[in-house]
Amino acid sequence: MNRGKRSLGQGAEGIIEEIKKDVERGSAELAVRAIDAFIALADALRVDSAEELKRSVIMLARQIADSRPSMFSLRNVAFEVAVKFVEASRYVDNPQILKELLKQIATTVFEEYRVALERLRRFGRDLLSGFSSVATLSYSSTVLAVLKEVGKKVKVYVAESRPLFEGRKMAAALAESGIETVLTTDAAIGYMLKEVDAALVGADSILMNGSFANKVGTLQLACTSKFLGKPFYVISTTWKALPTLEYSEEEHAAEEVLPAEVPPIQKIKVRNPYFEVVPAELVTAYITEEGVLKPSQIVELIEARLKKYRELEKIVYG
């Protein structure tokens, strides 16, 4: 093995590359893939000592966290697996036993994550069952799961979410579930808001001041909801929260906005930002696994977990 650059195995490294390049799935789905990477590491890695395995697990956690810094849940699930493993490895020095233990820990973290999503769906169902129509944008597996829980009681307006049109995927999934669905352009979502009871979106990250980041277009939806007096809900587990105000912007290829086959327009620069931060003042409430929380309560929750966050960082980054 090359000690200068330790390989994590094709399985784990392949998943990291998949996460980096995936522009369609949201952070909830990619967090599950991050957990899969630890199982792939345990299956593929050949090591001679427990210490070598521990270093590989920590390196994988760092690489997952750095793969998409804009998605805090990747960092949180990766750190959770790594730290649980480091603590467990103090009492075992057989690398083969530890690899099995790593898979068990990854499975346990996945189950904790799954239960959080299940609790969130129940809180979301209870709240949204009182509405007859809602508006959303882009694609969120978490929002989709909650709306499926509500079922045919609610009509959903979906903005298509250029440039990759994830909203079309969302609309198709809702319609296949028997939910009355209206697809519209991003520019028309304000017009459609006049016809709904509330707006709801997912989140890729939640910051310590109660603001959150999500697909570009969310700020427009939040501002228009505020102007029209419509409630604006964010559906997210607290696995997406971090005690930071720093957020890494993502910009992607200009060709997604203006395809290469289209004749170039002289003297025009094309920008393609993917995510934006929405201030807490525009959020009515967060629907989480901990219940329906005001932004101020989200702030309190993050502050209460601050010590744990710092301990995880210290173990993974040293």
Cβ burial, residue 256 (10 Å; 0-12/13-18/19+)? middle
User: What are the DSSP calls for 167-204, one per residue?
Assistant: HHHHHHHHHHTT--EEEE-GGGHHHHHTT-SEEEE--S
Q: Which of 36, 66, 93, 204 is catalytic?
A: 204
Give the single-character DSSP code of 4: S
User: What are the DSSP calls for 73-131, one per residue?
Assistant: HHHHHHHHHHHHHHHHGGG---HHHHHHHHHHHHHHHHHHHHHHHHHHHHHHHHHHTT-
Contacts of 171 (CB under 8 A, 6+ apart): 156, 158, 160, 181, 182, 183
By C-alpha distance, which of 117, 111, 147 is closest to 129? 147
Is the N-terminal amide bond of 231 cis, ω within 30° of 0? Answer: no
Answer yes or no: 204 catalytic. yes
Give the single-character DSSP code of 302: H
- Angle between helices 50-67 and 27-44 in degrees, nearest 10: 160
**Cα separations (Å) of 318 from 55, 82, 91, 110, 216?**
12, 13, 20, 25, 34
**Rounded distance between C-alpha atoms, residue 121 and residue 125, angstroms:** 6
252: its two tokens? 């992607």
Cβ burial, residue 183 (10 Å; 0-12/13-18/19+)? middle
**Cα separations (Å) of 183 from 171, 189, 200?**
6, 9, 15
176: its two tokens? 């296949």
The residues carrying an active-site annotation are 204
